[in-house]
Structure 1
Amino acid sequence: MSAKSGFRDTVLTAVRSAPRLVGGCDEAGISVVHAGGRVTTEASTGERVEQADALQVELQDGPCVQSIQESETVRSADLRDEPRWPRWSPSAAERLGFRSMLCVQLFTSGRTFGCLNMYSDTVDGFDHDDVQAGLALAAHVAVALRGADLVDNLESALASRDVIGQAKGRLVERFGLSSEQAFDVLVRYSQDRNVKLREVAEQVAREGFGALDDGRS
């Protein structure tokens, strides 16, 4: 399999899995940042996603643009009442029917190269657990896009919530982090070391915070 076809298979698998793995997700797409800042939608679950993403790029306004530019996870509970993106949100809600949105960055070696964009047809479609699920899925995608084979089963990131919770608990206790910060430490370590999130969490849960000593900045 060529690198190009492997990349395509990876992003297609990810977007098709998102509605099953992330509770509020009805549609999903992956946007990638190319040299010079050009952004393209590399895979999507449907035409509505392609239109929503293209409109963000055209207007330079919207959650994906914000997520890429500001290096953060972005969530909107109601696109009909969203002041952050006054040009994009009305079209996304009225013309395309999306009511809420979640954008999760794809990191590789400490830099952002794209976003996993998840859309819901309902208001407040994404809760805290959905954000965590989206981050876990994005972590696996990022590892795969760095040259590793797509994980045997993307659901493994979600099926392993117990061990991920144990690992987060150890980091929270040792470093005084919030739950979200502890999860981010695990995700970043997974991506930077090209190791599956589940394996990182199992190591931390088993060995404690010392398992990440060599990866801390």
Structure 2
Amino acid sequence: MGEVRNEHGERAAHEAPAVREGRAAREGRAARETGAVHEGHTGREAGGGHEVPVAREAGDGHDEGVARAFVGLAEALVADIDAIDLLSTLTLHCVTALGARSSGVMLADPQGKLVVMATSDERARELDLREIQSGQGPCLDCYRTGEVQFSADLENEARWPAFTPLARAHGYRSLSAVPMRLRNRVVGTLNMMHPRPRAAGDAELRTAQAFADLTTVGLVSQGAADGEDALKEQLRAVGSSRSLVERAVTEVAAHMDVRTGDAFQALQDRSRRDGVRLVDLAREITDGAFDVAALDGEVGGRIRGSGGGTG
């Protein structure tokens, strides 16, 4: 399950070892060894006006950036935030700490089919949906095989003839996907997308795997139950939460005339500021118990004031 496949479908020379025992020690080692990038800053997404995290080049603070990501994930678990908020946090850490241009999470539904659960930006979400529709791509192969998938340059990629042109059309040239695992079962995937050809180091893939493993354990532990049926029920609950949040985001975006990504960020900010779970706030909005007009000032200042909009 820890093998890495390159663009020729061969086992790569390096492997991403399983993060099972001694999790804390391995996470610390991964944080020390990762050298790709560090803290993110905001930049405008191509083709749109809103701002999204963009990774900076590696520097003296890259270790601290990875360490902060681990701390952020741990704090999110302790705070008992809901599943969609947790998965969104995971994708943003892949951008700011590991240097991905975009990142996404897919989880399996009770029928074993992958569903897009969270992405760092709208372009990533669109590509993830297209991957599922095309029936091929790094996430689908990662889920089926339980092995890390990596393509250094999509221009030379032959494994996914239907998907590769879509990824390049979205502005990506290099992709990777690591499995989200629980007790030797793959329950989903975490992917990272880059705009230029690149070689992924073992430490980077190992750190991404540690991010995924930590998040998966926290995600499933929210169900506080064990067994195959309990796991399926928890994944079903996550899917229901995603649908509820999406309906609320659509409502907020339509009311404020902003992008859905901006609307999601506004809901996430408000839920954390008020100390309520994202899914609970979404339920209040869809039930009509929360007036979305209350978000006008907050979103107006942060998004419209910075040149955002529907584009």
Partner of 2:107: 32
Residues 39 and 57, structure 1, Cα contact 8 Å, conserved in 2: yes
Structure 2 CA distance for aligned equivalents of residues 42 and 125 of structure 1: 27
Residues 12 and 43, structure 1, Cα contact 8 Å, conserved in 2: yes
Partner of 1:55: 130
Paired amino acid for 1:19: V
Is 1:126 the counterpart of 2:200 in the alignment? Answer: yes
Unaligned runs of 5+ in 1: 150-217
Matches within 5 A, 1:85-96: 85-93=160-168, 95-96=169-170
Partner of 1:116: 190
Structure 2 CA distance for aligned equivalents of residues 102 and 134 of structure 1: 10
- 1:5, CA displacement in angstroms? 6.0
- 1:148, CA displacement in angstroms? 5.4
- 1:118, CA displacement in angstroms? 0.7
Partner of 1:105: 179
Structure 1 CA distance for aligned equivalents of residues 179 and 133 of structure 2: 20
- Structure 1, residues 84-136: CA drift from partner, whole Å, max 9, x if none? 1111011101x100010110100012211100011111101522221111111
- 1:147, CA displacement in angstroms? 1.8
Partner of 2:210: 136
Which structure has the larger Rg over C-alpha atoms?
A: 2
Matches within 5 A, 1:1-217: 6-23=82-99, 25-93=100-168, 95-124=169-198, 126-147=200-221
Q: What secondary structure sits across from 1:103 in the alignment?
A: strand
Structure 2 CA distance for aligned equivalents of residues 20 and 144 of structure 1: 21
- Structure 1, residues 50-82: CA drift from partner, whole Å, max 9, x if none? 111111111111000100011111011011210
Structure 2 CA distance for aligned equivalents of residues 148 and 50 of structure 1: 25
Residues 32 and 113, structure 1, Cα contact 8 Å, conserved in 2: yes
Let me know the Cα RMSD of the aligned residues.
1.8
TM-score (norm 1): 0.63
Residues 101 and 126, structure 1, Cα contact 8 Å, conserved in 2: no
Greater share of residues in helix: 1
Structure 1 CA distance for aligned equivalents of residues 219 and 199 of structure 2: 27
Residues 100 and 126, structure 1, Cα contact 8 Å, conserved in 2: no
Q: What secondary structure sits across from 1:36 in the alignment?
A: coil
Unaligned runs of 5+ in 2: 1-79, 224-311
Q: Give the fraction of aligned pairs with identical amino acids, expressed as a percent.
A: 25
Residues 98 and 122, structure 1, Cα contact 8 Å, conserved in 2: yes
Q: Which runs of at least 4 in structure 1 moved beyond 4 Å after TM superposition?
A: none
- 1:144, CA displacement in angstroms? 1.2
Aligned length: 144
